[in-house]
Structure 1
């Protein structure tokens, strides 16, 4: 029995797959998408950087405000020390800043006013202190006049008729510290007195005590 030899038949390679080339429209769409993605990323990065700058600016502003507040409190404390020093050492309302400074420097508390080291700042505080003190003295003088019962609505007319009557008024005032506190400005003190006398004369006599009794009884 004869055997037939079977030879190997060559395998056929599969035909190459056909790849479809993207058309121009698809390429353009892909390019636009990439561009949009890059622009979005760039905007995100720019937004982050801007936010960082805003945080830095806010922090810098906060630090400046904190420094200003600290300086304000330091200056306020220095002013308080300086005013306490003025209250203790400056007794003469006529004292000049030059003479006052000589006295103040002898006190150890003078160094506590470290934020007022410039003469112009210290002098300004000194003048403000003297002005406020004088204003308070004038107010006290007016209160003294209100408390002096011997001064009435008739006092001004009495002084006009007899100038010596003024001395009786002054005798009632001159021993009070509220009167002597204005010894350095006698003209202004006299003007306060004159204005008060004119005001009393204009108001006339006060109502008698019994004038208010009916109204009080009516309320009861």
Structure 2
């Protein structure tokens, strides 16, 4: 599968955006290729030109969303930030991205709970969704003595788990302000920093 969506192919982007909306409303199984074609205003053959199967479309969409997340979080990091400031920036960027991209958040939630993730777990963990960059960042923090010397996967669970919980808290009005988000990331930092 070699889709050059990074070159801003309008048809592929339209297919991806339409698929995201439909999956949010109907789930993976309730989203037919014919409905994607209809709503994206492209011929069904156009979809199959880029994606040989629905499975290929879903996995490519996962990569597209992951690349968007990664770019959003890491594009504005400045070298002059301390490790702690960068930690806060990345975590808050993760939360902000999903608050602003509800369809992608819904898609990721479904993807990680689906057979798509299990079948493609090596690829998705290694190169997709910004996780690789965040794992490298957390590993660097351990090596530099900024974070507790523990398994990086433990830190990743805390990092991602609290971010997802905060996103849901905002969605359900349990966290009502940016101050609450700031309080959450301060508590996380206090728990993972090397004292």
Which TM class, normalised by the smaller chain length? 0.3 to 0.5
Q: More relative contact order in 1 or in 2 (CA 8 Å, sep 6+)?
A: 2
Q: Return the TM-score normalized by structure 2.
A: 0.35
Which of these two proteins has the greater Rg computed from alpha carbons?
A: 1
